[in-house]
Amino acid sequence: MAQPTVHVLLATFNGARYLRQQWQSVQAQEGVGVVLHVADDGSTDGTRELLQGLAACTFGAVRQVHWLDAPPRRSASRSFLMLLADAIRRCTDAEWFVYCDQDDVWLPGKLAAAHAALAPLAHAQRPALYGGRTLAVDENDRETGLSPLCARPPSFRNALAQNIMGGNTMLMNRSAAELVAASAASDVVVHDWFTYQLVAGAGGYVHYDPRPFVRYRQHGGNVIGSGLGWNARWARLRRVLRGEHRVWNSVQLAALQARADAFTADSREALHAFQRARAARSPWSRLAWLRRSGAFRQTPSQDAMLWLACALGRI
């Protein structure tokens, strides 16, 4: 039986310190073939030269490497969405797509496990998305803890208020990839949250894996970070109170509203109610609309933060 081919989207920027280890972990994947799509964002630390050296001698799972040249100084999310759209155009027979961060390490079986979860939906018109937990490590590769285990099932109402799966864990079938790539020109805060929102909103299948297959590197250059520990929770609360999450929601919701024609009727109703919860003038009206939206986070404490933020006009 032929091995599935997975198209891996690698966005880089000044990642030379960790990139070789990540590349090797992609090469070591078993049970799949890999086509790498690479976009560098104007690195100045030798990342591009390192990439060229690594790409010159493909072996293991890596079969081909494609390059995307684009103007530098774009966000990581912009790079990933551009890579996704380019991979779909370039490889018309591609079926599977994953995001790849430059500084992580993939554990053995990552791609095979993701493919096994979605294999029945390989050629389906229904979008399908896989994601799961990560194992956080520090800059010296010391383990610092697992990402929280999500007990409530993935859904658009959850995606409105929370992203439960990092892009470094995701795999999409072609239908999901085409759905997301159609918004490649949109402004989004983070590509992985938007991917979860869009696929769930369109009535897609979302599979959450409680097993970690990514060593998620934490260091000073992380765009988001793992969110583990009380310091991270306190920092998240401060961002909510300062209104940063409201700004993020405004950007994400504008991109979602532009694609509302792809959503189910139920998702459009939830989106409308969530927007009303943000726009209402009184705290009681905001809370009533939030309840009507059904938006939720994964734990009681996270839900409490959501309701507090709504009452204060900070969602």
pLDDT at 229 over 90: no
Can you tell me the distance from the alpha carbon of 241 to that of 185, in angstroms, rounded to the nearest whole number?
Answer: 30
For the chain, the structural domain boundaries read: 5-217, 229-311
Query: What is the average per-residue pLDDT within 81-86?
Result: 97
**What is the reported pLDDT for 72?**
77
**What is the reported pLDDT for 228?**
55
Query: What is the average per-residue pLDDT within 5-11?
Result: 98
Q: What percent of the chain has pLDDT over 70?
A: 93
**What is the reported pLDDT for 57?**
85
pLDDT in tens, 200-224: 999 999 999 999 999 999 976 545 5
**What is the reported pLDDT for 74?**
78
Distance from chain centroid for Cα 99:
7
**What is the reported pLDDT for 233?**
62
Torsion of CA 29, 133, 74, 64, to 10 degrees: 10
Longest dimension (CA), the chain: 62
- Spatial neighbors of 189 by CB under 8 A, at least 6 apart, are 77, 248, 251, 252
The mean-pLDDT minimum among 55-64, 178-187, 233-242, 303-312 falls in 233-242
**What is the reported pLDDT for 243?**
74
**What is the reported pLDDT for 224?**
57
Q: Could you give the 3-state DSSP secondary structure of residue 157?
A: helix
CATH class (in words) of the domain with range 5-217: alpha beta
Dihedral sign of CA atoms 37, 160, 302, 205 in order? negative
**What is the reported pLDDT for 232?**
62
Q: What rounded mean pLDDT belongs to the chain?
A: 93
**What is the reported pLDDT for 193?**
98
Maximum mean pLDDT: which of 49-58, 71-80, 204-213: 204-213
CA separation (Å) from 281 to 72, 79, 95, 289?
A: 41, 37, 46, 11
- 226 confidence band (pLDDT: 50, 70, 90): very low
Distance in angstroms between the alpha carbons of the first and the last residue of the chain = 49
Can you tell me the distance from the alpha carbon of 311 to that of 305, in angstroms, rounded to the nearest whole number?
Answer: 10
pLDDT at 246 over 90: yes
Both tokens assigned to 150: 């999500």
Query: What is the average per-residue pLDDT within 161-186?
Result: 97
Residue from 131, 114, 194, 186 nearest 159 by CA:
194
Q: Are 217 and 103 in contact (CB under 8 A)?
A: yes
Q: What are phi and psi of 63, to 5 degrees?
A: -100, -40
Can you tell me the distance from the alpha carbon of 40 to that of 82, in angstroms, rounded to the nearest whole number?
Answer: 12
Both tokens assigned to 233: 């929770």
pLDDT at 314 over 80: yes
